[in-house]
Amino acid sequence: MVDFAGWDMPVQYSGILDEHRAVRERAGLFDVSHMGRLEVSGPASTQVVDSLVTQRVRELESGRAAYGFCCNDAGFILDDIIVYRLGAEEWLVICNAGNREPITSLFAETSARLGANFVDRSDATALIALQGPRARALLPEAAALKRFRVETLIVEGIPARIACTGYTGEDGFELMCDAGQVEALWKLLLRRGEGELLPAGLGARDTLRMEASLPLYGHEIDAKTRPFEAGLARFVALDKGDFLGQAALRAAAEAELPRQLVGLVMKERGIARQGYAVIDEAGEVVGEVTSGGPSPTLQQNIAMAYVPLRLSALGSSVKIQIRDKRVAAEVVAMPFYRRSK
């Protein structure tokens, strides 16, 4: 157990490799109750959410979800979030635990200014994630739920808001229920998956999301990063109505990128870790690793890093400073891993 944004979180249960493989081959169960869960409702709720999020949330139908960003006036990322439209005037926003306080304040203040209802439901609810190719078989109540859809369903008498989203690169669901019922929900899912489903911790969550090249706040994105340099421009709708940071993001979109996030595969023995320097052929430090480690699925050491545009092309060669050695790496396409349909 470790401290994670003020929460006691498990790094592993039975072992990171076993948990990782379980998710890739069968199913894994994660407690992600540390994520913030914010609800906005009322006639002005759509205006509130649309004004704070880079995505075209206003166009979402009820029961649909979208991934996007909350940015500041300068266009830097305050947090990456998932927005769910629960009804015509009802919204759910999932934010990162470490950013819960500033994002909560942003939505609460904007809701108060525009006249919408705001409730932070993070402490009253819990959130667990069932991920892997066997997820639909283990949760038949949601078997028909499509990607980035959300619906309230009953799981053996427990009402749960179930979304077809996740953070592993696999099929699966996130289940939000009352905090007092999450233990029962967790145990019944483990009973259903006995012999194939493993509880999984932060270690496997990180290796899985890294293989799928999914950004982690504080690593690939932060308050000094704009979405474009992270390769996430598709989640920014510059031509929609006004939203926080729009003007700065428009200007940034027209300018040359200062750097680019790339995928790396180590060509020599060595593991790249966050903060390790990226070195060019002239021996100059030109970038920094954001995430890195062994890929259990691919049996390679992989990493993500920011580099200058001149080194961002596939096949480019760089070196990673690992302690007193410079280890060769090659720029490759992301994601490193993509599940078969």
Both tokens of residue 24? 């890739």
Pair 179, 310 in one domain: no
Pair 186, 301 in one domain: no
Cα gap 173→143, rounded to integer Å: 10
CA 197 to chain centroid: 22
pTM beyond cutoff 0.75: yes
Residues in CB range of 201: below 8 A, 6 or more apart:
9, 10, 11, 12, 13, 16, 19, 30
Q: Looking at residue 166, what is its pLDDT?
A: 92
Q: Taking the CA atoms of 311, 313, 317 and 322 in sequence, report the sign of the dihedral they define.
A: positive
Residue 80 near residue 74, CB atoms below 8 Å: no
Q: Looking at residue 177, what is its pLDDT?
A: 98
Angle, alpha carbons 244-65-290 (nearest 5°)? 65
DSSP per-residue string spanning 232-267: -GGG--TTSS--TTHHHHHHHHHSPPS-EEEEEEES
- How many domains would you assign to the chain? 2
CATH of the domain at 88: 3.30.1360.120
Pair 265, 175 in one domain: no
Q: Looking at residue 215, what is its pLDDT?
A: 98
Pair 42, 121 in one domain: yes
Is residue 118 in a domain?
Answer: yes
Q: Looking at residue 147, what is its pLDDT?
A: 97
Residues in CB range of 240: below 8 A, 6 or more apart:
50, 56, 58
Cα gap 126→290, rounded to integer Å: 29
Both tokens of residue 31? 């407690």
Is residue 8 in a domain?
Answer: yes
Residue 40 near residue 15, CB atoms below 8 Å: no
Pair 178, 299 in one domain: no
Residues in CB range of 323: below 8 A, 6 or more apart:
none
Of the candidates 214, 206, 201, the residue with the CA atom closest to the CA atom of residue 169 = 214
Both tokens of residue 216? 């982690």
One-letter amino acid at 238 equals L
Question: Which residues in the chain come in under a pLDDT of 50?
Answer: none
Is residue 95 in a domain?
Answer: yes
CATH of the domain at 318: 2.40.30.110
Domain boundary among 143, 176, 209: 209
Q: Looking at residue 340, what is its pLDDT?
A: 84
Is residue 275 in a domain?
Answer: yes
Q: Looking at residue 87, what is its pLDDT?
A: 97
Length reported for the chain: 341
Cα gap 62→248, rounded to integer Å: 30
Domain boundary among 179, 194, 209: 209
Pair 49, 135 in one domain: yes
- Write out the residue range of the structural domain in which residue 92 sits: 2-209
Q: What is the pLDDT of residues 96-130, one digit of tens each?
A: 999 999 999 999 999 999 999 999 999 999 999 99
